[in-house]
Amino acid sequence: MRRTALLALAGLLLTSGGGGAVAQDGDQLGRDLSAILTAPGLRNAQAGLVVRDAASGEVVFSSGSASRAQPASNLKMLTTALALDALGPEHRWRTDVLTDGVRIGNTVRGNVYLRGTGDPTTSPKDYRDLAATLAASGIKVVTGALVIDDTAFDDQPYALGWAWDDEPYAYNAETSALTLSPDPEFSAGTILVRVKPGAAGQPVQVELDPPTSHVKVVNKATTGTGSINLDREHGTNVITVSGATTVPTADTVTVHDPSGLVADVFRSALRDKGVFIVGGTESRAVPAKAQPVASHDSMPLREMIRPLLKDSNNMLAEVLVKTAGRSWHGGRAALRPKLAGLGIDPATLYVEDGSGLSRMDQMSPDQLSSLLVAARTKPWFSDWYEAMPIAGVDGTLRSRMKGTKAEKNVHAKTGSMTGVTALSGYVTTADGRQLVFSMVFNNFIPTNLKSVEDRIAIRLANDVKGQSVATIQTVPDRPDERADVECSWIKAC
């Protein structure tokens, strides 16, 4: 068969979703990739892989890549790219403190308002700083209420298709326009639970950071050999601490109603600064007559995408969708017109959230690779590319592919759920060509397929076009490592 006919056949199979592997020049690379895809863990699973030239978009290899599947956290690449196009790299989220009524001396005869627009990175210190600015203005007494305005987002805390049993975990927190992150990882919508051992056999000490009455702790843990388990009762703010430990530990737990937590933390901060609010806490939109007193701006979007992509932060991703359109439905509708500019037909994918946590999300490796090719033409590409995890260096790839040609070379986004794993990104070959690749594996019996992903990326890094690779660098299997969640979510990277 003539070469032109082979190229035509490759294109036909790519667009029609043919299940067979296609390598345009029939070289050793295609044979090696096909061999890797015969890994026992992929037997009877859905496996899609596509490799393309980054500059031209030409398909180098494809196997099952047109079939849609759950992309897991690979969806964050699409969410951040759409947000950069729609909101702009310099977009920031503002948190405002305002007052209404009449001020007489150091007294405001009215209310104080705290309004959020979705900043998921606001820390307890940021709220203390806002309280300090209000106090510095000379206000000592507010005769009305503390009013919380979180109306920038709707009141649906979870996207469709999220698992109910993940509710206590930081990667599954409620999305709110007023929230806080108690740790450097920007675990929005959570509280930090610190556990300290006491005398042997005695109860441990439990502290909340930040301190709050919004959450109740039930302490069943003792000082002794073992591990600590943290759980939150569904729909409540009752956190149960159980198990045993002889060393101090700390971890985050989600809270129900993050805006309520913020209100309690901010009221305490005001009290510490000498500002007394006579009334209770209410929730509604800020009236037009209210006057600003203090504000806090987040980092720009171009900086926020670094912890979002490198650490696979779900809550940062969800904020991008709701910022675009207040709700997940509205945000998706607002972002949809940007898909064509990223090489994706809006009619050929299904997306329910921004993080990929939903089991309803459907996207193919072909679509992910089209995104990777199109992104290179965007003015924000450099920031986006550097925000990807880098093999052997940082993020969810910091411990992977070390000592190979992929180390410090592969920039790629991971994705992990039970029965789902994905890796998509960029690699430079041994002869200096940049390739994009996307692999999405679904419906496998729970096992660790990260080594299969690594072998594919490493093989691409070693490639010299038209030549065989004498020795294919490999990595050991890691069957005992947990791979049903992103390693950053459990601090295991």
Q: For the residues 409-421, what does the mean pLDDT come to?
A: 97
Residue pair 109/143 in contact (Cβ under 8 Å)? The answer is yes
At 5 the pLDDT is 32
CB distance 365 to 336 below 8 Å: no
| 444 has a pLDDT exceeding 90 | yes
Q: How many CA atoms lie within 13 A of 490 on its CB side?
A: 12
Supply 383's token pair: 């920031």
- The CA-atom distances, in angstroms, between 484 and each of 203, 385, 446, 480 are 32, 25, 8, 12
Q: What is the pLDDT of residue 426?
A: 98
Catalytic residue among 73, 176, 358, 369: 73
Give the pLDDT confidence of 142-193 residue by residue, as tens digits.
Answer: 999 999 999 999 999 999 999 999 999 999 999 999 999 999 999 999 999 9
Instruction: Locate 13 and state its tokens.
Output: 């199979």
Residue 239 in contact with residue 193, Cβ under 8 Å? yes
Domain definitions of the chain by residue range: 3-88+302-490, 93-298
Q: Among residues of the chain, what percentage have pLDDT more than 70?
A: 94
Q: What SS3 state is found at 218?
A: strand
Q: How far apart (Å, rounded) are the C-alpha atoms in residues 293 and 423?
A: 46
Q: What's the chain's average pLDDT?
A: 93
Helix (H) or strand (E) run with residue 13 in it: helix 3-16
Q: For the domain 3-88+302-490, what is the CATH superfamily, name and number?
A: DD-peptidase/beta-lactamase superfamily (3.40.710.10)
Edge-first strand order for the sheet with 141-142 is 102-104, 107-109, 141-142, 276-277
pLDDT band at 21 (very low <50, low <70, confident <90, very high): low
Helices within 424-471 (DSSP H only): 450-461
| Residue 424 is a catalytic residue | no
Of the listed ranges 8-22, 338-352, 420-434, 466-480, the least confidently predicted one is 8-22
Please say whether the beta carbons of 51 and 14 come within 8 A.
no
Is pLDDT of 137 > 80? Answer: yes
Instruction: Give the contacts of 209 (CB within 8 A, at least 6 positions apart).
Output: 124, 182, 191, 192, 193, 194, 250
Question: Which H or E run contains 16?
Answer: helix 3-16
Give yes or no: 76 in active site.
yes
Q: Where are the beta strands (DSSP E) in 227-346?
A: 228-232, 238-245, 249-254, 276-277, 281-283, 291-297
Beta bridge partners of 205: 196
CA 187 to chain centroid, in Å, comes to 10
Same fold: 3-88+302-490 with 93-298: no
Q: Is the pLDDT of residue 18 over 90?
A: no
462 vs 404: CA distance, rounded Å = 9
What is the model's pLDDT at position 479? 73
Contact (Cβ atoms closer than 8 angstroms) between residue 404 and residue 475: yes
Most distant pair of Cα atoms in the chain: their distance: 91
Give the pLDDT confidence score for residue 20 in this predicted structure.
Answer: 55
Q: By C-alpha distance, which of 29, 74, 79 is closest to 423?
A: 74
Could you tell me whether strands 281-283 and 146-149 are parallel, antiparallel, or unpaired per DSSP bridges? parallel
Contact criterion met (CB below 8 Å) for 109 and 126: no
Distance CA 135, CA 139 (A): 6
Q: Is the pLDDT of residue 24 over 60?
A: no
User: What's the pLDDT score for residue 253?
Assistant: 98
How is domain 93-298 classified at the CATH fold level?
Answer: D-tyrosyl-trna(Tyr) Deacylase; Chain: A; (3.50.80)
pLDDT of residue 196: 97
| Known catalytic membership, residue 73 | yes
Catalytic residue among 65, 76, 413, 451: 76
DSSP annotation of 174 reads P
Banded model confidence at residue 448, pLDDT cuts 50, 70, 90: very high
- The model carries a pTM of 0.93
236 pLDDT exceeds 60?
A: yes
- Which of 62, 176, 181, 312 is the catalytic position? 312
Taking residues 280-300, what's their average pLDDT? 97
Bridge partners, 193 (sequence order):
208, 251
What CA–CA distances, in Å, run from 27 to 8, 12, 81, 468?
17, 19, 33, 8
